Amino acid sequence: MTAAAANQSGRGPTHTRRMERAGIRDVAAAAGVSITTVSDALNGKGRLPDETRSKVREVAERLGYRPSAAARTLRTGRSGLIGLTVTTYGQEPFTFTEFAYFAEMARAATSAALTRGYALVVLPATSRHDVWGNVALDGTVVIDPADHDPMVAELYRQGLPVVSDGKPGNCPVTAWVDNDHASAVLEILDHLAEAGARRIGLLTGTSTDTYTRLSTEAYLGWCRRVGQEPLYEAYPAHDPCAGAVAADRLLARPDRPDAVYGLFDPNGTDLLAAARRYGLRVPEDLLLVCCSESDVYASTEPPITTLSLKPQRIGTTVVNLLIDAIEGVGAFAGRGGHRLGGSGLSGGRAAYVPPPAYGEIPEGQLMPTELIIRRSSQRRSPRTTVSAPRVPGEG
């Protein structure tokens, strides 16, 4: 019970209790107003004179009053919390690639959430609902959900909005965002071919995630189309050593490629090291591109052309989509059938979370990538440029 309640009820002697947290009633009493006024003043609701408002705020400040999150949540049905779930988290160690991407993405997501008054909590995907039972989430962002992900399905079933980063294989989500991986790969291959490459190799992964799969497929399709024999090495992406070895193997082949695209962050340095071992000059003998969010590649010798997936943009978009779904605004305002429409309970609980679109095709969105062209992929003009978005169908 709050100190105020204890005093009001008159029960119990005047124990010098250890600093109990001040409650809204304490503030009301100290400010000489009612708790309603305190609530309104602090939340910017109601029509109060600025004077009252500021006085209440001041008293609250002085008393170190912190509203109880639990009480507010219970009352309003909204926690102001959204989850960020990393599927790979807590299982295998991150690959550096995964991590650099995740760090950027999470940072952007956090500030996007904050801007809209939400806090973002990072939750491990492990342990099905042990965790989820303790937190009241208004919605969740899922990074790269597995096919038929049971956790996602459960959340969705509970009527919680779920937005995924990465096109979901086979689980129900409210919306998803992904890069256009296929286009990105084609853009790179075209770029390399334009720079004079005749045999473009690929350093890819052995795992079956969407990114690896789509990218590799795009590469194979391109090879088929231009009549080049595929030249690739696949390795377990989570093992940095395997990456170095694979890079070496790729350049050791009798039909050695004259250009290579590496799908993972460390591939750039690995390929550079391997090229050095074989006495290959970059870019004269070998053109190099890799996918990375790291800017170390701006200062390698030579600087390496990289593909950025723009995780900041993804993080921001994902969070905004999620909050739109939670609040039933934006793209989710007009979608018929699965909001309050028809039940006519306009006076019901405030802004009840609209269940996601049952059985409908989720809102999907492809985000552009950015090719940062540096010396490693240019035979001629060694200027640093940023490519314009790729126009499809130019091959």
Partner DNA sequence: ATGAAAGCGCTAACAC
Partner DNA sequence: GTGTTAGCGCTTTCAT
For residue 234, give the nearest of 210, 202, 208 by alpha carbon: 202
46 interacts with, out of DNA, a second copy, none, CB within 5 to 8 A per kind: DNA
The residue (of 62 and 157) whose beta carbon lies closer to a second copy is: 157
Contact region for a second copy (CB under 8 A) — 46-54, 163-171, 238-246, 281-289?
A: 238-246
| Alpha carbons 109 and 84: distance in angstroms, whole number | 9
Q: Would you count residue 15 as binding a second copy (CB under 8 A)?
A: yes
Burial (CB < 10 A; 0-12, 13-18, 19+), residue 372, is buried
Counting contacts by CB under 8 A, is residue 210 touching a second copy?
Answer: no
Among residues 366, 385, 44, 392, the alpha carbon closest in space to that of 195 is found at 385
Using rule CB under 8 A, residue 54 touches a second copy: no
Compute the distance between CA of residue 229 and CA of residue 219 in angstroms, rounded to an integer: 11
Region of 77-85, 173-181, 190-198, 210-218 interacting with a second copy (CB under 8 A): 77-85
At closest approach, how far in Å is the CB of 104 from a second copy?
Answer: 8
- Amino acid in the structure at residue 284: E
In sequence order, what are the beta bridge partners of 85?
Answer: 123, 142
Shortest separation between residue 195's beta carbon and DNA, angstroms: 60
Q: Which two tokens stand for residue 339?
A: 């909001």
- Please give the Cα distance from 204 to 86 (Å, whole number): 22
- Binding a second copy (rule: CB under 8 A), the pick from 8, 43, 54, 124 is 124
Nearer to DNA, 36 or 384 (CB): 36
Report strand pairing: 370-373 vs 305-308.
Answer: antiparallel
Between 6 and 182, whose beta carbon lies closer to a second copy?
6
Q: Does 207 bind a second copy (CB under 8 A)?
A: no
Euclidean distance between CA atoms 266 and 229, whole angstroms: 25
Interface of this chain with a second copy, residues 325 to 384, rule: CB under 8 A: 343, 345, 349, 355
Closer to DNA at the Cβ: 22 or 84?
Answer: 22
Total of chain residues touching a second copy, rule CB under 8 A: 59
Could you tell me which residues come within 8 angstroms of residue 155 by beta carbon, excluding any fewer than 6 positions away? 132, 140, 162
State how far the Cα of 4 lies from the Cα of 284, in Å rounded to an integer: 79
18 binds a second copy (CB under 8 A): yes
For position 80 contacting a second copy by CB under 8 A, the verdict is: yes
Indicate whether 110 belongs to the interface with a second copy (CB under 8 A).
yes
Residue 123 contacts a second copy per CB under 8 A: yes
119 binds a second copy, rule: CB under 8 A: yes
Name the DSSP letter for residue 254: T
Q: Which is nearer to DNA, 10 or 279 (CB)?
A: 10
Compute the least distance from the CB of residue 198 to a second copy, in Å: 31
Other Cβ atoms within 10 Å of 235 Cβ, number: 24
Neighbours of 42 (CB within 10 A): 16
Q: Where are the beta strands (DSSP E) in the chain?
A: 81-86, 119-124, 139-143, 162-165, 175-179, 200-205, 231-235, 259-262, 287-291, 305-308, 363-367, 370-373, 385-386
Three-class SS state of 158? coil
- Chain contacts with DNA (rule: CB under 7 A): 1-2, 5, 23-25, 32-37, 39-40, 42-43, 45-49, 52, 65-68, 71-72, 74-77, 347, 350
Assigned token pair, 249: 């193997």
Q: Select the residue interacting with a second copy from 45, 62, 128, 157 (CB under 8 A).
A: 157
Least Cβ distance, residue 45 to DNA (angstroms): 6
Q: Give, as ranges, the residues between 276 and 315 that touch a second copy (CB under 8 A).
A: 296, 299-300
Asked if residues 309 and 369 have their Cβ atoms less than 8 Å apart, the reply is: yes
CB of 67 vs a second copy, minimal distance in Å = 7
Q: Does residue 118 bind a second copy (CB under 8 A)?
A: yes
For DNA, the closer CB: 351 or 366: 351
Binding site for a second copy (CB under 8 A): 1, 15, 17-19, 21, 64, 66-71, 73-74, 79-81, 90, 93-94, 96, 99-100, 103-104, 106-107, 110, 114, 118-124, 126-127, 129-131, 133-136, 157-159, 239-241, 296, 299-300, 343, 345, 349, 355
